[in-house]
Amino acid sequence: MRSYLWIAVLVTGIVGGCSHRGIEQPMAADRQPELARVENDSVIVLPPSQARQFAVVPVRVDSVGLMLRVAGRVVAKAVVAADSAVPPLIVFETNEAAQRYTEYLKARASFEHSSTQLARVRDMAEHRAASGKDVLEAVTEHRLQQAALLDAESELRQSGLRPELLERMNTGSVLVACDVPEGFLPYVQLGESAFMSFAALPNDELIGRVIELADAVDPTTRTVRVFILLQRAPAVIRPGMFATVRILKRQVNAAIIPRQAVVVAEGQSYVFVQQDSTRFVRRPITIAGDTGKEFQVTDGLTAGERVVVARTMLLKGLSFGY
């Protein structure tokens, strides 16, 4: 009798355990892991366990002297020509630019010659020493040379160089070009000081002046070419050399953030601002200066906001669907 009782207890335990496991299994199946999601194309919502992995720092606002930092390149240098009676010889970084400048000089000389010839023929016609046909031929030749000059100047401008810019170069001067993002352009003015350092002169900082801003924005890089003239450059500086250029700006109130907080997509700079413990919003910003370690932001952030400074590329991928 006692053995039957133990068997009944054992069967009851097995059945109860099976029924208990049968109840737990659907509950486990219903428990799905949380996933990151994007709301309104700019707000990223993360599970708490993942959100804690993104380090943030508070934004501070301060009055700063903006310093725009860009890469530059020596595109031309004026050297003493073999014939000292002629203007300085311009040496370019590429053969293409040199050829275009040579073609421009030839076209300008031909145009000036045709202008002189036209004036002479018209004077002769007034004194009945030339016919109307001679005047017509001189006018036609003058117009042809004018068209050739305009074409040569257009080709030279394709290299980013204006003839008037090269004519301002004196012997020993160099012309440095740097491509400035279009968002920085309002902070670059003609005549501003530009501080340049070269690998060939690691202990020296040379000072030039901004003398020219290109008329158009490059459609691919969304940058504007800025030209800096460095008078009396050291002899070691050569066309084609790279330079680190810092353009001094005026005092402004700017938000200061680490460089690693910024991501770029299609030419626009963004940061990710923490809204709460699990939400991060993508925010476009305007960068006006660069100290090398920090960006100076004039639009898009306010003091006290917290920006992500670690694993920002992961948030970029989630936000833009990469």
pLDDT tens column, 59-98: 999 887 767 788 999 999 998 876 666 678 889 988 888 8
Q: Is the pLDDT of residue 170 over 80?
A: yes
pLDDT at 2: 46
Q: What does the pLDDT read at residue 74?
A: 94
Q: How far is CA 3 from the centre of its chain?
A: 88
Q: How confident is the model at residue 147 (pLDDT cuts 50, 70, 90)?
A: very high
What was the pLDDT predicted at 20? 46
Predicted local distance difference test score (pLDDT) of residue 249: 65
Residue 158's pLDDT band (boundaries 50, 70, 90)? confident
Where residue 216 falls among pLDDT bands split at 50, 70, 90? Answer: confident
- For the segment 192-200, the average pLDDT, to the nearest whole number, is 90
Domains of the chain: 37-64+252-320 (2.40.420.20), 95-158 (1.10.287)
Q: From residue 256, how far is each of 127, 170, 227, 282 by CA, in Å?
A: 76, 40, 28, 17
